[in-house]
Structure 1
Amino acid sequence: MEDAKQGQKAHVLVVPFPGQGHINPMFQFSKRLASKGIKPTLTPTIYISKSMQTHTIPTQYGPPIQIRPISDGYDDGGYAQAESTKAYLDSIAIEGPKTLAQLIQKLAEEGDPVKAVIYDGFAPWALDVAKKFGLVGVLFFTQSCSVNSIYYHVQRGLIELPLLGPGPSTVSVPGVPELQPWEVPSFVENYGSYPFWFDAVMEQFSNIDQVDWVLCNIFYDMEIEVVDWMSKMWKVKTIGPTVPSYYLDKRLEDDKDYSLQFFKPNTVLCKNWLDSKPKESVIYISFGSAAELSEEQFKELSCSLRNSHNNFLWVVREKEQTKLPKGFIDETSKQGLVVGWASQLDILAHEATGCFVTHCGFNSVLETLSLGVPVVAVPQWTDQGTNAKFVEDVWRIGVRAKVDEKGIVRKEMLEECIKEVMEGENREEFKKNAAKWKKLAKEAMYEGGSSDKNIDEFVAYVIG
Structure 2
Amino acid sequence: MDVGSGRLRFEPLRGGRLWAPADPRYRAPGDMQRHIQDAGPAALEGLIRRQANAGRPVSFIVANAFAPWAAGVARDMGVPRAMLWTQSCAVLSLYYHHLYSLVAFPPAGAETGLPVPVPGLPALTVGELPALVYAPEPNVWRQALVADLVSLHDTLPWVLVNTFDELERVAIEALRAHLPVVPVGPLFDTGSGAGEDDDCVAWLDAQPPRSVVFVAFGSVVVIGRDETAEVAEGLASTGHPFLWVVRDDSRELHPHGESGGGGDKGKVVAWCEQRRVLAHPAVGCFVTHCGWNSTTEALAAGVPVVAYPAWSDQITNAKLLADVYGVGVRLPVPTTRDALRRCVDEVMSGPEAEAMRLRAREWSDKASAAVANGGSSDMGIRDFADALLSLSVEHGC
Q: In the alignment, which residue of structure 2 is the partner of 1:200?
A: 144
Q: In the alignment, which residue of structure 1 is the partner of 2:224?
A: 294
1:272 equivalent among 177, 202, 209:
202
- Summarize deviations over 1:97-120 as a string: whole Å, max 9, x none: 233233323322321101110110
Match of 1:237, SS state, is: strand
- Summarize deviations over 1:233-253 as a string: whole Å, max 9, x none: 232211111122534xxxxxx
Which stretch shows the higher mean deviation, 384-393 or 157-166? 157-166
| TM-score normalized by the length of structure 1 | 0.77
* Distance in structure 2 (CA, Å) of the matches to 1:172 and 1:355: 32
1:92 equivalent among 20, 29, 36:
36
Q: Report deviation, 1:168.
A: 9.1
Q: How many residues align?
A: 387
Distance 1:315 1:88, change over 3 A: closer
**Structure 1: gaps of 5 or more residues:** 1-30, 45-68, 248-254, 258-264
- Summarize deviations over 1:387-429 as a string: whole Å, max 9, x none: 00000111000100122xxxx1111111111000000000011
Match of 2:120, SS state, is: coil
Q: Report deviation, 1:343.
A: 1.1
Q: Report deviation, 1:156.
A: 2.0
Map 1:303-382 to 2 at 5 A: 303-326=233-256, 329=259, 332-382=262-312
Q: In the alignment, which residue of structure 2 is the partner of 1:240?
A: 185
Q: In the alignment, which residue of structure 2 is the partner of 1:40?
A: 9
Match of 2:149, SS state, is: coil
Map 1:131-170 to 2 at 5 A: 131-158=75-102, 160=105, 162-165=107-110, 169-170=114-115
**Structure 2: gaps of 5 or more residues:** 391-397
1:443 equivalent among 369, 372, 380:
369
| Residue 218 of structure 1 pairs with residue 163 of structure 2 | yes
Match of 2:6, SS state, is: coil
* Distance in structure 2 (CA, Å) of the matches to 1:427 and 1:85: 36
- Confirm or deny: 8 A CA contact 2:212 2:240 kept in the other structure: yes
Match of 1:215, SS state, is: strand
- Report the residue type matching 1:173 in the other structure: V
Q: In the alignment, which residue of structure 2 is the partner of 1:124?
A: 68
| Residue 108 of structure 1 pairs with residue 38 of structure 2 | no
- Confirm or deny: 8 A CA contact 1:302 1:328 kept in the other structure: no
Which stretch shows the higher mean deviation, 273-282 or 106-115? 106-115
- Confirm or deny: 8 A CA contact 1:244 1:256 kept in the other structure: no
- Report the residue type matching 1:320 in the other structure: S
RMSD (Å) for aligned C-alpha atoms: 2.6
Q: Report deviation, 1:358.
A: 0.5
Distance 1:32 1:340, change over 3 A: farther
Q: In the alignment, which residue of structure 2 is the partner of 1:455?
A: 381
- Summarize deviations over 1:286-321 as a string: whole Å, max 9, x none: 111111011111011011111101111111112212
Give the share of equivalent positions with the same residue, in percent: 33
Name which structure has the greater RCO, CA cutoff 8 Å, separation 6+: 2
Match of 2:323, SS state, is: helix
- Confirm or deny: 8 A CA contact 1:355 1:373 kept in the other structure: yes
* Distance in structure 2 (CA, Å) of the matches to 1:242 and 1:285: 22
